[in-house]
Amino acid sequence: MNKVKLRIDVVSDVVCPWCYIGKRRLEKAIGQLSSQFDFDVEYQPFELNPEMSKKGRNQKEYLTAKFGGEERYHQITDHVTRIAAEEGLKFDFKREIISPNTREAHRLVWLAKQEGKSVAVNEALMKAYFEDGVDLSKKENLVSIAVKAGLDEKRVNTLLDSEEGLTEVLYAEQLNHQRGISGVPFFIINNQFGISGAQPTEIFVKALTQIGTNVELEPNV
C-alpha cells in the first residue's frame, strides 16, 4: 500500500532534557502510526548555550546559577528525571559533571545526516550525556560515541580536526531563529506545521494524523 510520507524536522539540542523526552514521545507516536504513514525524521541544530566555553562548565554550578539556587536546581532536576522515567529514560544528573558547548556534537549529527544516521547519532549523544554522564566537551568521547553509532572513525576525526560542517550548522541555526524558534524541542512537519515542546504522545498522534490525512499521496511513477 502506498502510504503518505511525513517529513519531521526536529529542532533540538543534545543536552536539552525535554528534547530527549520529546524524542521518545515522538517515536512512540510514530510507532502507533507506522501502519498509516511513512516518516522521514531529521534532526536540526539548536544551541541552548552557544556562548559556553569549549571546555564546558561544572554542570551543577552552571544550572544552580541559571535556576536561581541549589534548592531550585534539585526541584527542577528531580522533576525532569521523574518525567523522563515515565518515558523509559534513566536520567542521572549526579553523573553529568560537565555542561558542554554542543557545537561539535551538532557537527557530528550533520555528518551523520550525510549517511542517513543522524537519528542514531543524536540518540547516542543524548544517551551518553543524560544516562551515562559522558563529558561531551572531550573529542575522544565524541569520537567513541559516533563510531559506536555507526560512523567511520577516520571520517569523524577528520571532521572534528577541521571546520567542516560548521557553516552548515550555523546556517541551520540561523534559519531556525528566523523561523521564530526560540525554544526546543520544536517539531516542523512537512516544512509547514509546527509543534512546540515535548508534547504527550497522544498529542503527537492526533496532530500527525490530522496533518497526514490532509496530505495528497504522490502518484506512483
Q: Would the pLDDT of 63 be above 80?
A: yes
Q: Is residue 22 a part of any domain in this protein?
A: yes
Q: Is residue 174 a part of any domain in this protein?
A: yes
Q: Is residue 72 a part of any domain in this protein?
A: yes
pLDDT at 215: 76
In the chain, the number of structural domains is: 1
pLDDT at 181: 95
Q: Would the pLDDT of 221 be above 50?
A: no
Helices 70-86, 59-67: crossing angle, 10 deg rounding: 100
> What confidence tens digit (pLDDT) does each residue in 108-145 have?
999 999 999 999 999 999 999 999 999 999 999 999 99
Q: Is residue 12 a part of any domain in this protein?
A: yes
Task: Name which of 1-5, 117-121, 206-210, 213-217 the model is least confident about.
Answer: 213-217
pLDDT at 173: 97
Enter the pTM of the model: 0.94
Question: What domain range includes position 67?
Answer: 4-212
Confidence tier at 217 by pLDDT (50, 70, 90)? low
pLDDT at 219: 46
Q: Is residue 161 a part of any domain in this protein?
A: yes
Q: Is residue 189 a part of any domain in this protein?
A: yes
pLDDT at 216: 65
Closest-CA residue to 83 (of 204, 208, 197, 189):
197
Q: Is residue 219 a part of any domain in this protein?
A: no
Please, are residues 105 and 142 in contact by the beta-carbon 8 Å criterion?
yes
Indicate the pairing of strand 186-189 with strand 98-99: unpaired
pLDDT at 218: 56
Residue with cell 542521572: 92
> What confidence tens digit (pLDDT) does each residue in 75-98 have?
999 999 999 999 999 999 999 999
Q: What is the CATH classification number for the domain harbouring 21?
A: 3.40.30.10
Beta strand extents in 29-171 (DSSP E only): 37-45, 57-58, 98-99
Indicate the pairing of strand 186-189 with strand 193-196: antiparallel
Cα–Cα dist 189/201, whole Å: 15
Q: Is residue 217 a part of any domain in this protein?
A: no
pLDDT at 113: 96
> What confidence tens digit (pLDDT) does each residue in 149-193 have?
999 999 999 999 999 999 999 999 999 999 999 999 999 999 999
